[in-house]
């Protein structure tokens, strides 16, 4: 497996020379400065590639090439948006990019309520607190029907938190929920979020799926011609939130996506953390089921709680058997090598990480500290080496 590292380009407080010391060989990055729906010019893509390669890295994967919200809503004349997406794909392929990681989550990206939740022996982690999310939906956003989406424990926690919260607490909660939009230009306040949700009022799961299939039908043929693969990232969290449907949350959802347009170029970013937040998901089993279509792997772990909350665990802790999952990926790599495929090496990256030691002073993108990810990568590297050694003896 090839070791990757997510880098936010000029927005990142961690430099490429620092990342080089991690031992990772591949950079996973994006052009976050370009608004959603616009073409990524080839000269800008080439400049990014040259910057990355000048420090001795490869740039095989873009994370992500965002999809405009109008495409997700199926709203208006979408021809230009699709053409822009295809042109961006062509410009990326011309500069050597092989995989585009993307998601089809409506309005928001990954969602957390706490960005610095304390970890038992020191440091902090990302956390999704069901009670706080319920408080935002019920008491701050006042979304009709929100009470029906939470269990009694979360509803009681929401009431207690809201009654004891200050205006600053509520502002911080809103900022945390918005933090998963690193490349977006929209950051919503409560009124802005209400207006954004209104645009999705008539879009249920079936409608969102129809819009998603249209997107795949528009772009996958171009991907095949260009020799580039699309790899959908699962929903995070893997459940409906804010009344918005989420349609890439389970193994059956993934089966629908990959079957909506049959092609090797229509694939999956296996994110063990996103899928792992759903108690019904067996992550190694999902990896084995869709192994042939895994183009990229985000490896992290989560710890789940009965009320629907979850938090980021250390990479080898939490609820997912990481060694078992890595073994599935290594088996798939060997199968591809035996077939003589040119995509046999799966790029992994240590996804998220605890803020440890001096990480808190760096103020990096939430979930993307230096030391915490170094720990995660070292642990994953050890698991891979151990499994390979066992198989060779």
Residues noted as catalytic: 233, 271, 298, 351-352, 368
**Residue 317 near residue 302, CB atoms below 8 Å:** no
Output phi, psi for 78, to 5 deg: -100, 0
Whole-number Å distance between alpha carbons of 309 and 154: 9
Secondary structure in 3-state letters for 45-104 = HHHHHHHHHHCCCEEEEEECCCCCHHHHHCCCCCHHHHHHHHHHHHHHHHCCCCEEEECC
Percentages of the chain per state (helix, strand, coil), in multiples of 5: 45, 15, 40
Residue with tokens 């240590």: 350
Render 182-204 in DSSP notation, one character per residue: SS-S----HHHHHHHHHTTTT--
Residue with tokens 């207006």: 195
Cis peptide before 106 (omega within 30 of 0): no
Instruction: Record the tokens describing residue 140, joined without a space.
Output: 């701050």
State how far the alpha carbon of 327 is from the alpha carbons of 191, 291, 322, 331, 371, in Å: 47, 11, 8, 6, 25
Please give the torsion angle defined by the CA atoms of residues 231, 316, 380 and 277, in that order, rounded to the nearest 10 degrees: 10
């Amino acid at each position: 497996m090839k070791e990757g590292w997510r880098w936010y380009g000029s927005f990142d407080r961690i430099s490429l020379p620092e990342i080089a010391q991690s031992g990772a060989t591949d950079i996973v990055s994006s052009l976050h400065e370009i608004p959603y729906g616009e073409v990524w010019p080839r000269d800008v893509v080439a400049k990014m590639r040259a910057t990355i390669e000048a420090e001795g890295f490869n740039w095989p994967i873009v994370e992500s090439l965002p999809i405009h919200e109008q495409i997700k809503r199926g709203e208006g004349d979408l021809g230009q948006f699709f053409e822009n997406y295809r042109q961006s794909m062509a410009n990326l392929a011309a500069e050597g990019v092989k995989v585009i990681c993307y998601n089809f989550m409506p309005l928001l990206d990954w969602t957390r309520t706490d960005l610095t939740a304390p970890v038992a022996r020191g440091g902090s982690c990302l956390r999704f607190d069901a009670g706080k999310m319920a408080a935002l939906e019920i008491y701050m956003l006042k979304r009709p029907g929100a009470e029906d989406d939470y269990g009694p424990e979360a509803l009681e926690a929401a009431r207690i938190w809201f009654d004891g919260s200050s205006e600053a607490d509520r502002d911080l909660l809103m900022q945390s929920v918005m933090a998963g939009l690193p490349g977006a230009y929209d950051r919503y306040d409560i009124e802005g979020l209400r207006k954004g949700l209104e645009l999705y009022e008539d879009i249920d799961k079936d409608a969102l799926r129809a819009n998603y299939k249209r997107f795949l039908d528009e772009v996958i043929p171009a991907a095949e011609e260009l020799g580039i693969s699309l790899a959908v990232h699962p929903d995070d969290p893997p459940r409906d939130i804010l009344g918005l449907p989420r349609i890439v949350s389970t193994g059956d959802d993934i089966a629908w996506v990959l079957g909506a347009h049959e092609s090797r170029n229509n694939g999956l970013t296996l994110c063990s953390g996103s899928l792992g937040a759903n108690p019904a998901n067996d992550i190694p089993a999902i990896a084995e089921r869709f192994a042939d279509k895994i183009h990229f792997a985000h490896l992290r772990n989560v710890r789940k709680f009965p009320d629907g909350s979850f938090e980021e665990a250390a990479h080898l802790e939490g609820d997912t058997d990481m060694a078992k999952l890595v073994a599935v990926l290594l088996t798939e790599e060997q199968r591809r090598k035996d077939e003589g495929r040119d995509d046999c090496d799966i790029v992994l990256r240590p996804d998220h990480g605890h803020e440890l030691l001096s990480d808190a002073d760096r103020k990096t993108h939430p979930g993307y500290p230096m030391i915490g990810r170094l720990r995660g990568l070292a642990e994953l590297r050890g698991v891979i080496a151990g499994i390979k050694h066992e198989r060779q003896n």
